[in-house]
Chain A
């Protein structure tokens, strides 16, 4: 099963490679990984999308926790979380396709962020399904290039009870 894991880690040279090395060294899946600093410049937030059965996910969470540069690990799949991904899609456009392309952009509330006589570059943000859907619609028109950020995710603030909040794993080595 797919899991979205949020990792708070030291913003230090080499921290990212410790996480990446863990996944490659132990043969864990990694579908996407996005990382950037937070308001606190000494801390980065990372979102990892991975998959595996319960035993493997348990190991992934524990092994992440064991990395000394990792400060906190939360499995967002266990809770209510918002996740988003951005894609930049360069579509080649013949004159007769330009209107159709713009219609699709409109439907998906995407933006054209660059254009040339023969192409549009489209920016789209949303849940993965949305990105996949727009790609599917644009494909027949001719996608020249595509870049995706990988998913980022954040837990929703609880509206009701405490219990719906994601439980951070106790950090222990």
Chain B
């Protein structure tokens, strides 16, 4: 075989992994690689304006396609900039392969120009990382990186490539398979444990399915649907699971946890059997651990043994892949389920329906008052749902309202940052998904605070013709922070008020994107239709009621059946911030 440089091996290895698109930003030590990429057409290179943007785009791409996203960045500051995205991907189990440039091997450790300890920086926020010290190892390393990122519990993997490695030549053979002696994920669940789980399900009178992000990662939606329908068990989903079970299905109770629905949380609290599938009992879900599901037996299916019994005692632990475990469980149940499950579950469903009716999600939109964020998202959902959209969000109140009111029907359509809660995630993640699916409708529900953390990617969106529709829910606040200050800090708004937000319409236009503003309730539907019809990236600024809070809410460390359902009386008489003398008087929001 001909001799190839490291950079050429890199390209060939990517092609063999089936990589179509990468998100990248160059620098000195990776120039050889960029030079090779520049002279080919098999792998599309999307130049981002910030390495964090590249990382989140790769995440959005991965979440929407189910395949590893790929980013390529330079040493030193390129690396430090991408760390947030790596940490985000690690928390949310997103398959990602990030290639970083490194100073030449001979200079490593010398505080060389733009040197950073990429391995040290990324160790706590990657599933694994490699420093390539010999060009002969490069092909094998890349193969292993993709394998580790996408198997077992997926996650980000970093491959650090020193400059000389990308230039050196070698006779290369590309490996076909990988075997790593310390890495053998368990996919098959114990049959005996699955049998126990089936027995518990048959005996249970108040069971609840608690679905997590693992369902989507293992593509187990059909199996979950079969299980739920066969047994008539109600379904709760975590923030990360949304879309893996149809949001409008009669068995769906919506999201559980801190901002979950009343019925979803009550169902957990009073259940006698929790069936957790690919969920990790996060503190936003458990609340006060000592009072979590006090009367329930717990079955936990997870591919990562460390997720099991990390926070909560589990009665029937099943280590394995959701899809395979549920296939086996369903086949056991199919043989045992008898009689009319609807009839048998009726008392439980009566109770659930009562909870549903007692406290449904609600908001009140007055036609002549400021737009309520919930109303806007509700309308966005109804006007776009038939187009099978992909939806990304930033982090904050708007994210929670999106989770509550945008009922996703299918998996791989919901891009949100759950574990790390990274503001600025939404816009680049939407771009990454749009790069994967150029024809689909990709929406982003952003916050006025969050969107400013990666708005530079407007340039990427315009240049690469990625027509994402970004709806900026503008409350002129770090709303989620303000909500906590309202409830727990006596309304002292330390640094949550955003005195200076840019004119988002002009901002978008300055980059050559489209800008729109939706001012009044009567503009909402037309504004949405107009935005969706534009064949360009669009920023739609939606000034909303500044003081709307997100409920239900379980205060951190609170108990799941003790939810705050509305603003306490003292909050209902708040004055607009303008009247508090903090405003320049030019506000358009309060008079909307």
Contacts and interface: CB of A to CB of B under 8 A. Distances in A.
Contact of B305 (A9, A62, A67, A69): A62
Contacts of A66: 304-306
A65 interface: yes
A13 B160 CA distance: 14
B305 A65 contact: yes
Interface in A1-46: 9-10, 13-14, 17-18, 21, 25
A66 B183 CA distance: 8
Interface string A45-76: 00000000001001100110111111100000
Contacts of B303: 173
A62 B302 CA distance: 13
Interface string B221-247: 000000000000000000000000000
B131 interface: yes
Contact of A21 (B123, B152, B319): B123
A156 interface: no
Interface residues of A, number: 24
B548 to A, nearest CB: 38
Nearest to B186: A172
Contact of A18 (B123, B181, B183, B304): B123
B309 A58 contact: yes
A141 to B, nearest CB: 44
B119 to A, nearest CB: 6
B184 A172 contact: yes
Nearest to B180: A68
B124 A25 contact: yes
Contacts of A21: 123-124
A18 B305 CA distance: 18
A173 B181 CA distance: 12
Contacts of A62: 305-306
Contact of B182 (A17, A55, A63, A67): A67
A42 B499 CA distance: 59
B120 A68 contact: no
Contacts of A67: 182
B309 A68 contact: no
A18 B182 CA distance: 13
Interface string A74-99: 00000000000000000000000000
B203 interface: no
A69 B181 CA distance: 8
Describe A's contact surface by its main secondary structure. mixed
Interface string B319-360: 100000000000000000000000000000000000000000
B128 A68 contact: yes
A25 B304 CA distance: 18
A66 B184 CA distance: 10
Describe B's contact surface by its main secondary structure. loop
Interface residues of B, number: 24
B124 A171 contact: no
A113 to B, nearest CB: 35
A65 B319 CA distance: 14
Given A171-B184, A173-B152, A173-B304, A59 B319 contact: no
Contacts of B304: 66, 173
Contacts of B152: 173
Contact of A172 (B180, B181, B319): B319
B124 A63 contact: no
A82 to B, nearest CB: 26
B123 A68 contact: no
Given A9-B182, A17-B123, A55 B148 contact: no
B476 interface: no
A55 B309 contact: yes
Nearest to A170: B186
B185 interface: yes
B153 interface: yes
Nearest to A60: B306
Contacts of B123: 14, 17-18, 21
Nearest to A67: B182
A171 B319 CA distance: 12
A5 B131 CA distance: 28
Given A25-B124, A62-B306, A68-B180, A13 B148 contact: no
B310 interface: yes
Interface in B129-170: 131, 148, 152-153
A173 B185 contact: yes
A17 B121 CA distance: 12
A172 B124 contact: no
B184 A59 contact: no
B119 A14 contact: yes
A172 to B, nearest CB: 4
Contact of B184 (A9, A10, A63, A173): A173
Contact of A71 (B120, B148, B181, B310): B181
A59 B310 contact: yes
Interface string B280-318: 000000000000000000000001111001100000000
Nearest to B123: A21
Contacts of A170: 186
Interface in B416-473: none
Contacts of B127: 68
A62 B309 CA distance: 10
Interface in A129-168: none
Interface centre among B184, B185, B306, B310 (most CB of A within 10 A): B306
Contact of B131 (A13, A17, A69): A13
Contacts of B148: 68
Nearest to B181: A71
Nearest 8 A/B pairs, CB to CB: A172-B186, A62-B306, A173-B152, A62-B305, A71-B182, A173-B185, A68-B183, A68-B128
22 contacts: A13-B131, A14-B123, A17-B123, A18-B123, A59-B309, A59-B310, A62-B305, A62-B306, A63-B306, A65-B305, A66-B304, A67-B182, A68-B127, A68-B148, A68-B180, A70-B182, A172-B184, A172-B319, A173-B183, A173-B186, A173-B303, A173-B304
Interface of A: 9-10, 13-14, 17-18, 21, 25, 55, 58-59, 62-63, 65-71, 170-173
Given A59-B310, A173-B186, 18 more contacts: A9-B182, A10-B182, A13-B131, A14-B119, A14-B131, A21-B124, A55-B309, A58-B309, A59-B306, A62-B306, A63-B306, A65-B305, A67-B182, A68-B183, A70-B182, A71-B181, A172-B184, A173-B303
